[in-house]
Structure 1
């Protein structure tokens, strides 16, 4: 059983490259599908009205899961395949439910 005190909640602000919005969304679909293997789950996925931004609320059972997600070779391969068209992401650690 996971202690809720160990949980890590993140907000990711994702911005797609101009002209690569569809590719960026497909990339995010694929990357978000990897969360579960690292003890993570997507709680909310919001789409900006500008068509170029998404906001994700993600929860991990612990920091180790987040770190293993960042190091996931499948995630790295997906990002490398997009090259300069890859989205930029700002991640903020947050408190609260």
Structure 2
């Protein structure tokens, strides 16, 4: 099991587009053995935190190169959110 925490920051003036992108991309997790455990939106409306699990690291790797995900990101161009991903475990 692989657990990730993603910190997503939306581009200024592109928050709505970023949220739609995240909705679409998170819907792709299942096809790669991934699952969204928790999705939190910052009170500033410009950031989110996602807790995501994958059955295996290979699922995460295939999610990263998913052609549909890449196309969605390319569509947004400079308005695409930036994401920092942290591998995590329970303590």
> TM over 0.5, yes or no?
yes
The structure 2 residue matched to 1:23, chosen from 4, 10, 17, is: 17
Spell out structure 1 runs of 4+ moving beyond 4 A.
none
- How far does the alpha carbon of each residue in 1:36-88 deviate from its partner, in whole angstroms, 9 at most, with x for none? 00000000000000000000000000100000000100000000000000000
Partner of 2:81: 87
Structure 2 residue matching 1:49: 3-state secondary structure: coil
Q: Which residue of 2 aligns with 1:37?
A: 31
TM-score, normalised on structure 2? 0.99
Residue 14 of structure 1, CA deviation = 0.1
Matched, 1:72 2:82: no
| 1:2-24, Cα deviation, whole Å (9 max, x unpaired) | xxxxx000000000000000000
Structure number, greater radius of gyration:
1
How many angstroms apart in 1 are the aligned matches of 2:88 and 2:48? 17
SS of equivalent to 2:13? coil
Q: Which runs of 5+ in 2 are unaligned?
A: none
Alignment: residue pair count: 91
